[in-house]
Amino acid sequence: MTDFYRYHLFFCTHLRDDGTPCCQANNAQQLRDYAKQRVKDLKLKKVRVNNAGCLNRCALGPVMVIYPEGTWYQYQNENDIDEIIESHLLNGKVVERLKR
């Protein structure tokens, strides 16, 4: 049996009400939505993009993790998301400069 997804992306989109560092304070939801749309536009059928609750790396935010490898990325903008999609999802190569 083959796996249903080749890659599963989890974006922390947690918002802390007390003002402490969190991913959502760094536009995590907007960038997650951007990634989801890019995956859809590229017709990457075996890729799933999901929200996650707190991934407990708040000080690094925003962060995401890609399974099955368990590769963690810190990203800042759409260019970083595009690079992760191009390099990791399309070509199977980890983006070392964004890896955390």
Any idea what the CATH number is for the domain that residue 27 is in?
Answer: 3.40.30.10
Residue-wise pLDDT for 57-78, tens only, equals 988 889 999 999 999 999 999 9
Q: Measured in Å, how far apart are the chain's first and last C-alpha atoms?
A: 32
Q: Does residue 1 lie within any of the structural domains?
A: no
**Domain residues for 28?**
7-98
Q: 12 with 21: CB under 8 angstroms? A: no
Residue 4: which residues within 8 A CB-CB, separation 6 or more? Answer: 46
Positions of E strands within 21-86: 47-52, 63-67, 71-74
Enter the pTM of the model: 0.93
Residue-wise pLDDT for 14-44, tens only, equals 999 888 899 999 999 999 999 999 999 999 9
- pLDDT at residue number 1: 42
